[in-house]
Amino acid sequence: MEYEGPRAARADELGDVLKLVNLVFRTSRGLPPTMGEEFPLLFNEENAENLRIIKRGEEVVSHVGIFECEALIYGCRLKVGMIGSVCTHPEHRRRGLATALLRDAFEKMRRDGVDIVMISGIRGLYDRAGCAIAGAGYDLELTRESLEALSAEGVEAVEGGGAPEYATIYQRECVRYMRPLRHLEKLFESRAWYVERPTRRIRVLVLEAGEPVGYLIVHVPDGGAVGRVVEYAGCREAVVRGLKAVAESQGLEALRLKVPAWDVGMISALRRHGLKLPHYTTPLADTVRLLNVEDAFERLQPYFRERTDEEVSVSVEDDVYRVAVGHYEITLRGPKELAWLVFGVPERVPEPFRRFMAGVPKAPEAFRSVFPIPLVPYGLYYT
């Protein structure tokens, strides 16, 4: 029997797609089949065109999911394509199905005008597709001792609240997704995504003088003592003070969070409270690629103009990229080198993935006023 695809899933095939992704990511790991409840923006009939599949007979045997959204980077509007739930049925692996689907997904996103591709994973499949481990942030684990040293004076942490209150705070962020209110409402109704075991989502508004000025969204594994901050927004000073209140109210031993290297406001607030950051950065989002490169650079021109009086441009020919800042030009061979220049390079990558970091070019001094640009963290949009 021959394979059918790659192609878009039909709305009536959503159940077959969920059967496969639940098998690979949930039931085979002893977890309940909840992928559809955890990722409602990905797995729904309206998004069926972005669920790329290969079938054999009546069975979906390989899948690559796409979720498209828009982001604002200091006022510049770009389109982001997120890839997730990439999987193949165990009986059909090592036949190039995922490779074919990923190529199909990139072609679909290119047609859709996607500027930035983000993939929630690091593996050879993505490396071969030109995706780079790029963007940098700090991984923090705040222990009970460090949390107790924090001051929560002047703020009140209130669990719950409606989507409009959170949207108002998030809308003030300079680097963010343009997230429709209906998306936030649907995410608030969804399950927290699992890492190793069932997880609950806690959302907390941080109030100052009775007014919401920030928020924290935390995932806590059932029976676990360590929470993970998956998204924060608003006044950084208030958010840091809110960390202590969240840990105390939930009885947590520690809180983990990732702070983008570009978020100097959060870094400064953490330091003011005596919290030490690691001496090195790690990947902010697993793997990244610029897709419609010339269009993306055109959309970023307002950002560039505020950084330099020189013209910033790019030309593309057969995966060779020539990026110029004024009279200075650098030639980058392949999309990975381009992503490293544009989004920056983490200082430390986990040992199994260091082999993907060969050939990182050094950015010329003339480029450092422009690059790297901020990469928007996944937050609740994790796919």
Q: pLDDT, tens digit, for every residue of 6-32? A: 999 999 999 999 999 999 999 999 999
User: CA–CA separation, 232 vs 172, rounded Å?
Assistant: 12
How confident is the model at residue 192, as a pLDDT?
A: 95
pLDDT band at 185, cuts 50/70/90? very high
Minimum mean pLDDT range among 89-93, 110-114, 166-170, 220-224: 220-224
The one-letter amino acid code at 229 reads V
Tell me whether residue 362 is exposed, middle or buried, using C-beta atoms within 10 angstroms of its C-beta: 0 to 12, 13 to 18, 19 or more: exposed
Q: pLDDT, tens digit, for every residue of 127-164? A: 999 999 999 999 999 998 998 888 888 899 999 999 99
Angle, in degrees to the nearest 10, between helices 236-250 and 264-272: 60
Give Cα 257 to chain centroid, integer Å: 13
Q: Are strands 3-8 and 132-143 parallel, antiparallel or unpaired?
A: unpaired
Q: Give the mean pLDDT of 277-295.
A: 96
* CATH 3.40.630.30 location in the chain: 3-114, 150-273
User: CA–CA separation, 135 vs 6, rounded Å?
Assistant: 30
How confident is the model at residue 223, as a pLDDT?
A: 84
Q: Which CATH superfamily is domain 150-273 in?
A: Gcn5-related N-acetyltransferase (GNAT) (3.40.630.30)
Q: Are strands 76-88 and 116-119 parallel, antiparallel or unpaired?
A: parallel
Which CATH number is associated with domain 3-114?
Answer: 3.40.630.30
Whether residue 201 has pLDDT greater than 90: yes
> What is the CB neighbour count within 10 angstroms for residue 161?
16
Angle, in degrees to the nearest 10, between helices 163-170 and 181-189: 130
Q: Give the three-state DSSP class for 243.
A: helix
User: CA–CA separation, 305 vs 300, rounded Å?
Assistant: 9
Whether residue 115 has pLDDT greater than 80: yes
Contacts of 199 (CB under 8 A, 6+ apart): 191, 192, 193, 219, 220, 221, 222
Complete edge-to-edge strand list for the sheet that includes strand 312-317: 312-317, 320-325, 328-333
Specify the higher pLDDT residue, 349 or 222: 349
